[in-house]
């Protein structure tokens, strides 16, 4: 564990924000810089088959030290940070022995991390918190996952008395913009199953996520001088507003939680003549997910009946699906993670992800891949923090998983 924090702090200083709308892969060259640095570090630790491919995926292998065959387990984390907030010039600091008081992030006291706003802070009284300076995100999502995986691999290299099978690791680009697995070669990776280290608080174990679709709606209006607009004008913005109000208001993100799905309006832009709306549609239950898509399609058809054919056009496509139906047939990989946590004194918190994960895409590509905690909180913004002790617990879980997989003879 001695290098865990130093490793993480070093990673946070490397600017790796992904770039939405980019036509390159990865979306930003800075991710390639980080990828090559990680590859150099993995080689210096003595891992095998270290590689950075043309898409920026960093892969490496820790060979088995057993004389019998066991499943090959993988661990995956992503290199990019979210474009939702600046990830450049990160200046992290450690608050030793946190007392439960308000934390002034910046010298002027304008940015405060407080238990009033973030009551989960009180779980970590007496621990060491890594925080931002209030001007950037921290990058624990997911550089903490990378630091934890590499620290675990370094420990295993130094302690050959710990028996284990082959372990594969991969660090991916562009997870934050939904492209983390676009070029992931499951066969080349060579694992039977894997875990993404990309969750939040200690104990999180996730193998359910949303089914997801995106929709783009273009409304063609009829612009007429307002002085003579009676029975002639069709204001596309008002048609768009009518569409919004025809969708159930209680199925918006701000009114939903747990297993409740939603319609989320992400963009509304237009004028009298033309308006564009963009929605994302989410639900854990596939039948409810399908019903939501049908509802939106029927509303658009209804508006075309009211205002004329071609007034409203809808483009809708599925983005990803709930990994549960891919993971449940190999339930033993969840059992391994649960047992690993309990054996190191952590009570698993099994919950559904209200979002997506690289693991969902990978599960449908043939690599079952639940998600495990890293220890961080408040991702994607200046109030992000991570307790050192939580990162250490994540490392112990990785090590215990490797040990338990090494006991499963094929």
DSSP letter for each residue of 271-326: -SSEEEEEEEEEESSHHHHHHHHHHHHHHHHHHHHHH-TTSEEEEEEEEE--THHH
Provide the pLDDT confidence category of residue 109 given band limits of 50, 70 and 90.
Answer: confident
Instruction: Identify the residue whose tokens are 């952590």.
Output: 346
Residue 254: active-site member: no
Coil, helix or strand at residue 4: helix
Domains of the chain: 4-208+323-405 (3.40.630.10), 211-320 (3.30.70.360)
Catalytic pick among 41, 80, 142, 384:
80
Q: What is the pLDDT of residue 355?
A: 82
Whole-prediction pTM value?
Answer: 0.89
pLDDT per residue over 211-250, tens digit each?
999 999 999 999 999 999 999 999 999 999 999 999 999 9
Helical residues (DSSP H) of 308-371, grouped into ranges: 324-327, 332-343, 358-364
Closest CA relative to residue 194, chosen from 63, 361, 65: 361
* Pairing status of strand 48-52 against strand 129-131: unpaired
Statement: residue 110 has pLDDT above 90: no
Residue 117: active-site member: no
Instruction: Identify the residue whose tokens are 């284990």.
Output: 164
What's the chain's average pLDDT?
95
Q: What is the pLDDT of residue 338?
A: 97
Burial status of residue 116 (CB atoms within 10 A of its CB: 0-12, 13-18, 19 or more)? exposed
pLDDT per residue over 379-389, tens digit each?
999 999 999 99
Q: To 5 degrees, how large is the angle CA 253–CA 259–CA 264?
A: 20
Omega before residue 16 within 30° of 0, cis: no
User: Contact at 8 Å (CB) between 246 and 301?
Assistant: no
User: Contact at 8 Å (CB) between 222 and 233?
Assistant: yes
Q: What is the pLDDT of residue 261?
A: 97
**Residue 176 token pair:** 């934050």
User: What is the average pLDDT across 281-305?
Assistant: 98
Catalytic pick among 175, 176, 208, 283:
175
User: Contact at 8 Å (CB) between 368 and 326?
Assistant: yes
Question: Exposure pattern of 357-374 as b/e (b: 16+ CB <10 Å)?
Answer: bbbbbbbbbebbbbbbbb
Q: What is the pLDDT of residue 358?
A: 87
DSSP string computed for 218-258: EEE-B---GGG-TTT-B-HHHHHHHHHHHS-GGGSGGG--T
**Residue 110 token pair:** 């304008």
């Amino acid at each position: 564990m001695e290098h865990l924090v130093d490793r993480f702090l070093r990673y946070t200083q490397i600017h790796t924000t992904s770039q939405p709308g980019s036509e390159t892969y990865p979306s930003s060259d800075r991710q390639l810089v980080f990828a090559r640095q990680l590859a150099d570090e993995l080689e210096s630790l003595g891992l095998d088959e270290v590689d950075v491919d043309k898409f920026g995926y960093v892969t490496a292998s820790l060979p088995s030290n057993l004389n019998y065959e066991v499943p090959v387990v993988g661990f995956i984390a992503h290199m990019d940070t979210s474009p939702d907030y600046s990830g450049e010039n990160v200046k992290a600091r450690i608050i030793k022995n946190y007392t439960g008081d308000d934390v002034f992030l910046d010298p002027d006291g304008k940015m405060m991390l407080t238990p009033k706003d973030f009551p989960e802070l009180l779980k970590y009284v007496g621990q060491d918190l890594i925080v931002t300076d209030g001007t950037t995100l921290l990058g624990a999502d997911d550089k903490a996952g990378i630091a934890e995986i590499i620290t675990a691999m370094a420990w295993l290299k130094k302690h050959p008395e710990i028996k284990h099978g082959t372990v594969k690791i991969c660090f991916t680009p562009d997870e934050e913009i939904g492209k983390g697995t676009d070029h992931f070669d499951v066969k080349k990776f060579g694992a039977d199953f894997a875990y993404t280290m990309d969750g939040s608080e200690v104990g999180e174990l996730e193998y359910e996520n949303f089914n997801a679709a995106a929709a783009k709606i273009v409304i063609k209006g009829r612009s007429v001088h307002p002085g003579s607009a009676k029975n002639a004008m069709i204001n596309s913005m008002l048609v768009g507003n009518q569409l919004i109000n025809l969708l159930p208001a209680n199925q918006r993100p701000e009114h939903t939680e747990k297993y409740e799905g939603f319609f989320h309006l992400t963009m509304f832009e237009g004028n009298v003549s033309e308006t564009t709306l963009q929605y994302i549609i989410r639900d854990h239950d596939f039948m409810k997910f399908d019903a939501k898509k049908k509802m939106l399609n029927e509303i658009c058809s209804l508006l075309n009946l009211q205002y004329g054919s071609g007034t409203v056009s809808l483009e809708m496509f599925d983005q990803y699906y709930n990994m549960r139906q891919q993971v449940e047939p190999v339930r033993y990989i969840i059992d391994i993670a649960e047992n690993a946590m309990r054996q190191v004194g952590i009570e698993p918190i099994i919950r559904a992800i209200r979002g997506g994960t690289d693991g969902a895409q990978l599960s449908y590509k043939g690599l079952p891949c639940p998600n495990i905690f890293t220890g961080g909180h408040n991702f994607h913004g200046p109030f992000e923090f991570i307790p050192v002790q939580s990162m250490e617990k994540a490392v112990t879980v990785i090590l215990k998983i490797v040990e338990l997989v090494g006991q499963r003879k094929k």
